[in-house]
Chains A and B, each alone.
Chain A
């Protein structure tokens, strides 16, 4: 028994963290919003690809960096990416898209690994797809499978998101077209679990970043002649955020381990991680805005960039209620008949 991130799993996150610290401040998040300089975001993404981020779960034989990493490496890496707020399809690329392209022997893999082609994936039939409005490659479900299309092969209808950097779009793909990336419930379940895990870890990073911004603010901001962070009402609210984040993190790490080890509890562990991380990030966002006062309710200050991403991701890849429902079924708590659909993660 050893519950701590292994050095080899932390190494890539550290390398990515160095790139992000230098190149990905809040202005890079704004660049990812409509009217911004999206190329500046892509440039950071390519640098990250260069240190092995996109191909983290891709083996050397398929042109990955051959880091030999598995899902254990996802939590620290995604936490670092989440903390930065960089507006890229991180979970969709690293956890789902790249490994599936590699497994399918798809010719698009090298460009994705270089970061020169942006890929996005959705496993939820009919739902708007994040980054579809600006991705080069789009993978969407088709019956029992997942199919990959170039952007010009599908009909795209942009959908506004609370987080403008998400480039959400409704995707109309021709049935039976494109390249078959994954097929059958087992393959889709693995892909789904990885996407959920990565998103949970992104949420942890976002929550941590919002807490950090807020702590810095309430230490500085003076009212009634003292820092507002000296008031117990503020202290206690922020202590509750720390509590939620600190108890979500081990759940995310444990889900990564369960997936990597092929543990029979991987599905439950992953759902737990998403529930706890989503709720912790939502709490962080709500509390952070409150503790910033009116300043937190503006778009001039950076906080909203992280909060909006947290709201988007908390609901993406299954919200807390959906994952609780899934755990409930596994615990033998039968729902009504119309809830028996098990989804891809059965």
Chain B
């Protein structure tokens, strides 16, 4: 047990902190889930990339710094403490990239990753469909073999696609074998959103931003080179990296530590706050620290070769509930000002998505009960 950072990690922290202090936009950018805000965020993404901070844990050849998992955690902590903009590229970097590293051919890695790091290609996730949310294996969008064209023709509809209206590419699951049983017969495809036959329609999320999109595909030709991880392997490929989505890589502790600090500041400057308020503020602050400690234990396990697996469902449950608790507590402190459109009310609306995306919390509790506790599936 040693909870101190090494001199190398401290040096890495200082370098990140200094760069962020000099470069983070002084005024907050408009929401990255609006068209204008997205453009502003892209500019920021390119600034990050040019200074090699956009994908610190990736190999240098692809635009990263070969940073260790510990250094990545340090960077995330500093990033959130600096109040730096939300990462509009996150679904590519945190969700698709781990899959490309694990299953992509060298050609795919070279073609996809540097452009992703540089925010030239912007990736949206195409998993959910109108009839396939929690029951992801119910996917009906299909891909039909076109031998002559050397690829597959995709037809169907994806929905609740985050920032789909602003992205350039889609990664998604499609049914290549309609005869096969649910989880089999799916294939993981990479689809440019400007391909003939693709129609994207943005729509509003709960917070009123155009952060969602429906993606309609009508006989869209995708070459064999854009199959990730093999035909019929889609479920295995997608599930192998869901840990990244649910757990640590999507939601590092820095985000919640920073929000918890803001909450404590709010309580300090709210003269009307009562003992009951303090009790809730401290509880939320404690839980943010607990999330960090849990992730330190988790990173130790990963670094020492013990993979995380179903435990990422614990991360997902904890951080999503914590995010809501932090924002609900802020609303209590704000009193009548809680309804004013601002960072706390916007954060609150966003926090409500947490128990839904990346696998609903009901699904996560099933996973914890069945895979960690060994309760019967049916």
**A contact residues vs B (CB 8 Å cutoff):** 1-6, 9, 72, 211, 215, 218-219, 226-227, 229-230, 232, 234-236, 238-240, 242-243, 246-248, 250-251, 253-254, 256-258, 261, 263, 272, 275-276, 321, 324-325, 327-328, 331-333, 335-336, 339
The 8 Å CB contact of B300, one of A3, A240, A335, is: A3
Is B21 interfacial (CB 8 A cutoff)? Answer: no
Is B267 interfacial (CB 8 A cutoff)? Answer: yes
A324 touches B378 (CB 8 A): no
Measured CB to CB, the closest approach of chain A to B343, in angstroms, equals: 21
Q: Pick out which of these stretches binds chain A: B2-10, B55-63, B156-164.
A: B2-10
B4 touches A1 (CB 8 A): yes
A250 touches B296 (CB 8 A): yes
A227 partner residues in chain B, CB cutoff 8 A: 375-376
A256 partner residues in chain B, CB cutoff 8 A: 1
B282 touches A2 (CB 8 A): no
On whether A2 and B1 interact (CB within 8 A), knowing A254-B293, A324-B283, the answer reads yes
CA A229 – CA B370 in complex, angstroms? 9
A interface majority secondary structure: helix
The 8 Å CB contact of A1, one of B2, B290, B317, is: B2
CA A247 – CA B296 in complex, angstroms? 11
A325 partner residues in chain B, CB cutoff 8 A: 275, 278-279, 282
Is B374 interfacial (CB 8 A cutoff)? Answer: yes
**B contact residues vs A (CB 8 Å cutoff):** 1-6, 9, 70, 264, 267-268, 273, 275, 278-279, 281-283, 285-287, 289-291, 293-294, 296-297, 299-301, 304, 311, 314, 317-318, 362, 364-366, 368-370, 372-378
B279 partner residues in chain A, CB cutoff 8 A: 321, 324-325, 328
6 more A-B contacts (CB under 8 A) besides A232-B366, A327-B286? A3-B297, A235-B375, A236-B362, A243-B318, A247-B287, A333-B267
- 25 A-B pairs with CB atoms under 8 Å apart are A1-B300, A9-B1, A72-B1, A215-B373, A215-B375, A219-B376, A226-B376, A227-B375, A232-B362, A236-B369, A238-B373, A239-B368, A243-B368, A250-B290, A254-B3, A257-B1, A261-B3, A272-B286, A275-B283, A324-B282, A325-B275, A328-B278, A331-B285, A333-B278, A333-B281
CA A21 – CA B355 in complex, angstroms? 40
The 8 Å CB contact of B375, one of A4, A229, A272, is: A229
B376 partner residues in chain A, CB cutoff 8 A: 219, 226-227, 229-230
CA A1 – CA B370 in complex, angstroms? 32
A243 touches B317 (CB 8 A): yes
Q: Which of B289, B314, B377 has the most chain A CB within a 10 Å cutoff?
A: B289
CA A257 – CA B2 in complex, angstroms? 7
B373 touches A242 (CB 8 A): yes
Q: Which residue from chain B places its CB closest to the CB of A324 in the assembled complex?
A: B282
Q: Which of A9, A239, A250, A253 has the most chain B CB within a 10 Å cutoff?
A: A239
B278 partner residues in chain A, CB cutoff 8 A: 324-325, 328, 333, 335
Measured CB to CB, the closest approach of chain A to B285, in angstroms, equals: 7
CA A335 – CA B274 in complex, angstroms? 8
A327 partner residues in chain B, CB cutoff 8 A: 282, 285-286
